[in-house]
Amino acid sequence: MVLTHVKELVEQNAQKYESYGLTASVFSAGLNKKELDQQVTFASVQSLARNLDKLNTFYSLIIIDECHRVSTAQDSQYMQVISCLKRYNPKLMLLGLTATPYRLGHGWIYREHYHGFIRGEEGSPFAKCIYELPLRYMISNQYLTPPNKLDPAIEHYDFSSLATDSLGRYSESDMNNLLNSHTRATKSIIEHILVQAESRRGVMIFAATVMHAKEIVSYLPVNETELVIGDTENKQRDNIIARFKSKEIKFLVNVSVLTTGFDAPHVDFIAILRPTESVSLYQQIVGRGLRLDEGKDDCLIIDYAGNDFDLFHPEVGAKKPNSDSEPVQVLCPGCGFANTFWGKLDEQGKVVEHYGRRCQGVLEDEVDGESMQCDFRFKFKECSHCGAENDIAARQCHSCGEIMADPDDKLRDALNLKSALVLRCCGMTAEVIKPQVLKVTYFDEDGADVSEVYDFTNKGSRYYFHRNFAKRLKSGSAVGEWKNVEEVNITLLSPPDFVIAKQHKKYGWQISDKLFDYDGSYRVADKS
Ligand SMILES: [Zn+2]
Ligand SMILES: [Zn+2]
């Protein structure tokens, strides 16, 4: 049983299968077919979910195309079909295919990768990724057309100042406001596109909003341009796509409807005028132009929205934290696994900063042989009861079960206290003031500072220094033990986000708490 969510894909897949001289059934209301008599059926999940009573037989395998749409909610259409077929075969196998295994806000579609690392949460729709075909491989082995990326030397949009929702998306009104103040940019971008398109056969333009798309269309030749948006009626949409595929029209403008599964092999120019939230979405859009076609040598890719993704970047699985971050490799000091996180490199290619939280390596439990995620954390909140390291967003200690103090409560309490000082820390310095005595000073954006002293000849003092800083090195590496002050490389230490100090009658401000890896609602200082 081959399932997918749109009739175009049902038809496309069935045709591909039959091109091998095989016969398949097709079950899709949109295609006016309700057949189930062949060994292999291509079906739309909506049609099948409405006809569960007809699914009264044994299937050994379900294949889901574009499987990132599968939700584990029991009442979802995919789950209805799956549990129905499981009644006839408890050992039913499920295989998913997708080019976007990770989506912002939804996370990874699978739990474990076949190279031995954890990606998704427990309870992800799929247990294991069993095979991955990187874009680079597909292009160098001529399964896909090489992309030809051109940097437009003209004004482009910058969406990066806008706020995003939990799915990493911008609101339509925010984007419209920004675009409204850039109407000259849109006009000159389209002029640029028209010049570049002269030697091209099919041009797909990805717009940010419906209003934006309509403006774009108004600058393009009327007889050669069509627009597809979410509200476009099916019949009209089919007609437009058919005319585009037969090259009657050259420019196809769309607003987030033709990103996946759309297949027009002659497309040889992709113009991106919208923000893309993740590497894989960017790759999906570009992928619309990489199909092989006769007489097509490359596909021109122009990103007018400053998305700045590398087509061959691995998916990091987190929102890009800022525009100058890139995927970096961080070896886990615990298990040695090479993690890919967002981060920054120096000129020698060394990691100087990264945004990873927890190692993604897989370890096998020595007792029951089950695989589990490595417990090493690069950023963590320490439990004040047992000292265990927890995720920075944890509310309850995973080790002792105690409720963890909310850093926001600590800050609020300190801010309400006259005798307390809260320093929004943006950096730190350290100097050796006596042999083996280190004075560490934390300062804020306005230049205020507080300091504390660590005496390395004192075991307890050395221990506290180690506990604060050793596991949070900017490079992601770990320190065995600092025995003396000279071994400490201050430039690699991560400063806390907040320092709380209390007024002491005799000694002035004394640091009472430091909040590292803060993940709450107060603003943190820019440390770059
Ligand atoms: Zn590890
Ligand atoms: Zn604990």
Contact 221, 173 (CB under 8 A): no
Ligand 2 center–CA 409 separation, angstroms: 18
Global ipTM: 0.88
Place of tokens 């739990």: 111
The one-character DSSP state at 396 is: B
Ligand 1 center–CA 71 separation, angstroms: 29
Indicate which ligand has the atom closest to the C-alpha of 404: 2
Ligand 1 center–CA 362 separation, angstroms: 7
Ligand 1 center–CA 332 separation, angstroms: 5
Ligand 1 center–CA 378 separation, angstroms: 10
Ligand 2 center–CA 396 separation, angstroms: 8
Indicate which ligand has the atom closest to the C-alpha of 333: 1
Ligand 1 center–CA 144 separation, angstroms: 35
Q: What is the pLDDT of residue 266?
A: 96
Please return the burial class of 60, using the count of CB atoms within 10 Å of its CB with bins 0-12, 13-18 and 19+. Answer: exposed
The one-character DSSP state at 62 is: E
Ligand 1 center–CA 153 separation, angstroms: 43
Ligand 1 center–CA 368 separation, angstroms: 19
Contact 517, 497 (CB under 8 A): yes
User: 449 pairs with which residues across the strands?
Assistant: 443
Among 381, 380, 341, 345, smallest CA distance to 361 is for: 341
Contacts of 271 (CB under 8 A, 6+ apart): 189, 193, 203, 204, 205, 206, 302, 304
Structure tokens at 377: 């954390």
pLDDT 10s digit of each residue in the chain, 528 long? 999 988 888 998 999 999 999 999 999 999 999 999 999 999 999 999 999 999 989 999 999 998 988 888 888 899 999 999 999 999 999 999 988 788 777 788 898 888 888 888 888 889 999 998 878 888 888 999 999 998 887 777 888 778 877 667 788 899 999 888 877 889 999 999 999 999 999 999 999 999 999 999 999 999 999 999 988 888 898 899 999 999 999 999 999 777 666 778 999 999 999 988 777 788 888 989 999 999 999 999 999 988 877 777 777 778 778 778 888 888 888 777 888 899 998 888 888 889 888 888 888 777 777 778 888 888 888 888 888 888 888 888 988 988 888 889 889 988 888 888 999 999 999 999 999 999 999 999 888 899 999 999 988 888 889 888 888 888 877 777 788 888 888 888 889 999 999 988 888 888 989 999 888 888 888 776
Q: What is the pLDDT of residue 260?
A: 64
Among 267, 271, 254, 292, smallest CA distance to 150 is for: 271
Contacts of 489 (CB under 8 A, 6+ apart): none
DSSP annotation string for 426-487: EEEEEEEEETTEEEEEEEETTS-EEEEEEETTSHHHHHHHHHHHGGG-TTS---S---SGGG
The one-character DSSP state at 223 is: G
Nearest-angstrom CA–CA distance, 449 and 405: 25
Ligand 1 center–CA 112 separation, angstroms: 14
Indicate which ligand has the atom closest to the C-alpha of 383: 2
Q: What is the pLDDT of residue 454?
A: 92
Ligand 2 center–CA 405 separation, angstroms: 11
Nearest-angstrom CA–CA distance, 114 and 118: 9
Ligand 1 center–CA 324 separation, angstroms: 26
Contacts of 236 (CB under 8 A, 6+ apart): none
Indicate which ligand has the atom closest to the C-alpha of 339: 1
Indicate which ligand has the atom closest to the C-alpha of 400: 2
Contact 215, 183 (CB under 8 A): yes
Indicate which ligand has the atom closest to the C-alpha of 331: 1
Indicate which ligand has the atom closest to the C-alpha of 380: 2
Indicate which ligand has the atom closest to the C-alpha of 332: 1
Helix (H, G, I), strand (E, B) or coil at 111: strand
Indicate which ligand has the atom closest to the C-alpha of 375: 1
Q: What is the pLDDT of residue 261?
A: 62
Helix (H, G, I), strand (E, B) or coil at 309: coil
The one-character DSSP state at 359 is: -
Q: What is the pLDDT of residue 528?
A: 64
Ligand 1 center–CA 331 separation, angstroms: 8
Ligand 1 center–CA 475 separation, angstroms: 15
pLDDT by residue (tens digit) across 319-355? Answer: 778 778 888 888 888 777 888 899 998 888 888 889 8
Indicate which ligand has the atom closest to the C-alpha of 402: 2
Q: What is the pLDDT of residue 520?
A: 83
User: 94 pairs with which residues across the strands?
Assistant: 62
Ligand 2 center–CA 72 separation, angstroms: 32
Among 40, 91, 49, 42, smallest CA distance to 70 is for: 49
